[in-house]
Structure 1
Amino acid sequence: MSQQATCGEKCIPVTWLCDGQQDCPDGTDEQCEEMCGGHPQAWQCDDGKCVSISWLCDGVGDCSDGSDEVNCACPDQKVQCPGNSQCLDAWQLCDGHQDCEDGFDEASCPQVHCLAGQWQCRNKVCIMAGWKCNGINDCGDSSDEEDCASCPEGMLGCDEGRCILESLMCNGDADCADGTDEPTTCGKNCSLDNGGCEGQCSDTSWGVQCACRTGWQLQPDGQSCGDIDECSMAYGPCGQLCHNVPGSYFCDCIQGYQLHNLTDCQVTGDAIKILIAADQELGILDRRTGIYETLMHMKSRPSSVAYDLERNTYFWADEVLNVFVLGKLTSVPLYPEFKTVNSISVDWFTGQLYWTSSYAKVICAGLSDGRGYVKILEKDLTPEQLIVFPAKK
């Protein structure tokens, strides 16, 4: 049965909405003149956002206000399985039991948390915390660039984008959850001992505002500066080796590589090896010598391979994902419940794994040790191949 929408007491397929023919007695199915430019395959949420008409009543709230899942075939407090009229109670979602035929009710459950130094996007993707509000859509859903505008005149920022009146600064009450409105520099002046600032000092109506040079960060006391250890960040600045120094860092490369553009490492000479999957085995081909070395034998022929140089770990896909650590005798399947993987790729900065499935119509990102994964794209796509290039994120 096709997905249904309601008009009064009548149910109609969602594809009948905005099709140029009135199917509801009150004509609400054709009130489309101002909706998304009148595009026949678009539907406008109550908040003004436009989504694909095929997303209506699919059990996923694509509108921020959830209006695309209102007036569907399922009664209130129930969720509809995509593609049919089956309705589920809210408690049936993420209960470990597959109720929808395509596993929809268990597919979008939270399974991982971001690492220290990372920030989680609205779509559950983890990015470097410093990438928030850098002017680049690193999340893919732009959630990292929301609430980033500077505060209006007469207001100051705190609590990751929240603005408060400047008159609330240093009034004795903690108006910001992080305490930034009551710093230790209240009532001070830069002309006296630099306002107590270890770095730069600026006079304000409420006291002094301290700041630090590049490579240093202001400490919780609001006055002193501490070194930023760039090498300990989840997304390090170097392609291979990183060495932290006070106020800065420098990059280095492992044997067989040379430093390029101060951060990247390139192979020296012809010391290039190619990872090959063929004839039910995984092997390495030395481009300079032409010597082929078998790493391990397997029961199936892989369709995609990837290698994490930093962790000396190999990944491949046949029907499911597999991981093989050099020195161990056998491989280990990753997320065996996830079938028919087409392509895999590795973020060599973080070790995070990405894969596609044209059967499930999703692109996923997951931890390489099998602790959990999330679906980062699963709408209107049939992915086949995937390449990750972290340097251009």
Structure 2
Amino acid sequence: MDINECWKGIDGCNQNCHNTLGSYHCTCDDGFLLQSDGLSCQDVDECQLGNGGCEHICVNTEGAYRCQCHIGYVVDSIDAQNCIDIDECIDINHGCNHMCTNTVGGYTCSCFKNFVLASDNKTCVVVDQCEGHTCDHTCVSVPGTHICYCDTGYFLQPDRMSCSDDDECTMDNGGCDQSCQNTIGSFICDCNNGFTLSNDGKTCIDLDECLVDNGHCSQECTNVAGSFECTCFQGFIKDTAGRCVDIDECTDGSSDCDQYCTNTEGSFQCSCETGLFLDSNGKTCSDSDACASGLHGCHTLVRASVVKLFAHVMMDMS
């Protein structure tokens, strides 16, 4: 009776066992090769023979193989050994800033006129038209050309390159309230004596000199636009040095005293001879009726008319 070695597991086959009359033999799966011992199976590297029929890359696997494609290609869905080119530009321009051009196995980005490709080979930047420019101050690159600009306080010359100082004082005095002084690239407002420049840098406001040490006036200081005036109190007058000195009304004849004049600081005082009194105007003297006023000091009251008569008689005798 034939013994089925394959059933009893005594065949020793690596993969497949086939029973025969009085014996058996071993076989291997597809992609494997039976070795000389008749038992062992070794993987066949299909890639060694004609690259496995792959157009690009052949990758061996256990008992089989597969084809792969280079970057920029994809395996053909109909024939898995062939590779077809990928049109990267279909996918939202594939990141190109301006234009995308498909190539065999890849793509290239390009730019519109007056633009160049940046180092990332995707972004387009304006050609630097200012390279080697001849602008005096600032150059701004624009597509196809460049524009020169001047700093504040300068204006562009007809050659569109040179900058010259702009004399701001020639137009509306630079907006200055009083004096305008042009400087290179700017201007400065200034004020006349007696004025000071306000915070806006243009308006001049009057300087009240009287606020500081009374304007150095000895008595009264009066502020006026752009200056000030020193004046003296009544009874004083300026000397040659501008100081206020007392007026001696008694010597210059301005007192109008009837009899005696006494000068005082800033004024004067009139007085009368004994027996006379100063009138209410403070200047003229009148006879004083000492008997009527009770200032006589006499024991017997004598009428004022008698006294006057006696005074006249005495004057005639003298």
Between Structure 1 and Structure 2, the one with more strand by share is 2
Higher-Rg structure is 2
**Larger helix percent:** 2
TM-score range, shorter chain: under 0.3
TM (norm. structure 2) is: 0.26
Relative contact order, CA 8 A, sep 6+: which one is greater?
1
